[in-house]
């Protein structure tokens, strides 16, 4: 296992976060425009399927990045304080979304009902990820302890392989219908551990820094997306998306696409200071952009532009995604400094209390 001293900011890691954020906006394009009810017919839908499977790697990319960046974290007060900016961002974005729902969408609820929505992770429409992340964050030091329990390379390979087997391999073989009976030969009781599987893969990549030629990596990404698209498109037999070969984040091909995209991005480097600053700027605001993008998804849907026609996806997809991203980024320029300031104030308060208790 190689030891790598982490730089203050890694350009490649920031690129991964920016790509994942863009993919979040991209996959939500298909969520809100009736795509899943469209018949799987024609070249436009085939291209849409390809884009949908590519952008569906968004959340898994964040999880691999979490493992990559937090693989050395240990139990400490400093570590647990790291959840504060996430929680503050969640609360601030939830408040903005509540204001949008009451002022623009005229959704009327009592104060208590809105509070319940916040703690049910529903006030901000995409806040389910926060619920996932809180649990993963609390477990990170213990997952790391398991990963680093032994230093031999074979141990890490077996651990990563085991997680792949229990989380992703079942999707390759289960669900087959033979003579009218569904056949599930691979144990799939622990498929729901897919967040941990992605995290462990991130730890593995941090430790061993695997590299693929960029051209080969790009070819493999396109090939796997194309294969998954063909399977979905053909098996749907002209019906809607759900009749094809689908799959969630535990789907083997989704996992393969995610790992390949991560390998393509994570060790990118540039000497251009302007580009480094721009990518880092967007990366820092990625969670704000993610959560507030739900507001702009609604606003763009109400603009009057028909985003539902498959033959128009070639221009409505980049248009809507660009507008949602720009709007979300502009809002984050206000909200991100607020969370930084509150985090600093809280940190200074804790530091003072700690000093007073020691004196």
Residues ≥6 apart with Cβ < 8 Å to 358? none
21-49: pLDDT as tens digits: 999 999 999 999 989 999 999 999 999 99
Q: Average pLDDT, stretch 229-235? A: 91
What is the reported pLDDT for 354?
Answer: 59
pLDDT at 247 over 90: no
Of the two residues 347 and 201, the one the predictor is more confident about is 201
- pTM score of the predicted model: 0.93
Range 39-42, long-range pairs (CB < 8 A, 24+ positions): 39/238, 39/239, 39/240, 40/232, 40/233, 40/236, 40/237, 40/238, 40/239, 40/240, 40/241, 40/243, 40/244, 41/238, 42/310, 42/311
pLDDT at 6 over 90: no
210-225: pLDDT as tens digits: 999 999 999 999 999 9
pLDDT at 2 over 50: no
Mean pLDDT, the chain, rounded, equals 92
104-150: pLDDT as tens digits: 999 999 999 999 999 999 999 999 999 999 999 999 999 999 999 99
Proportion of the chain above pLDDT 90, given as a percent = 80
């Amino acid at each position: 296992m190689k030891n790598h001293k982490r730089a203050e900011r890694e350009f490649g890691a920031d690129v991964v976060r920016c790509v994942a954020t863009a993919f979040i906006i991209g996959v939500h394009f298909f969520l809100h425009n009736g795509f899943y009810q469209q018949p799987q017919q024609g070249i436009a839908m085939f291209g849409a399927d390809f884009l949908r499977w590519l952008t569906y790697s968004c959340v898994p990319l964040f999880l691999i990045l979490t493992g990559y960046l937090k693989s050395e974290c240990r139990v400490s007060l400093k570590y647990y304080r790291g959840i504060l900016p996430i929680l503050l961002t969640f609360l601030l974005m939830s408040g903005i979304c509540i204001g949008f729902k009451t002022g623009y969408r005229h959704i009327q609820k009592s104060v208590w009902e809105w509070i319940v929505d916040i703690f049910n992770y529903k006030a901000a429409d995409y806040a389910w990820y926060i619920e996932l992340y809180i649990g993963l964050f609390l477990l990170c030091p213990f997952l790391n302890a398991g990963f680093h329990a032994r230093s031999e390379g074979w141990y890490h390979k077996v651990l990563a392989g085991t997680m792949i087997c229990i989380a992703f391999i079942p999707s390759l073989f289960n669900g087959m219908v033979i003579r009218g009976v569904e056949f599930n030969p691979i144990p799939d009781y622990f498929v729901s551990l897919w967040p941990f599987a992605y995290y462990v893969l991130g730890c593995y990549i941090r430790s061993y820094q695997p590299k693929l030629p960029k051209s080969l990596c790009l070819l493999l990404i396109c090939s796997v997306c194309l294969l998954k698209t063909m399977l979905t498109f053909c098996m749907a037999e002209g019906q809607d998306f759900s009749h094809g070969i689908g799959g969630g984040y535990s789907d083997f091909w989704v996992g393969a696409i995610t790992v390949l995209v991560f390998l393509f991005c994570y060790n990118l480097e540039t000497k251009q200071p302007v580009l480094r600053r721009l990518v880092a700027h967007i990366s820092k605001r990625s969670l704000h952009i993610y959560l507030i993008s739900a507001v702009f998804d609604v606003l763009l849907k109400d603009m009057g532009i028909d985003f539902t026609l498959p033959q128009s996806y070639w221009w409505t997809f980049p248009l809507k995604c660009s507008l949602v991203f720009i709007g979300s980024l502009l809002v984050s320029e206000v909200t991100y400094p607020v969370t930084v300031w509150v985090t600093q104030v809280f940190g200074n308060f804790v530091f003072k209390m700690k000093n007073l208790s020691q004196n």
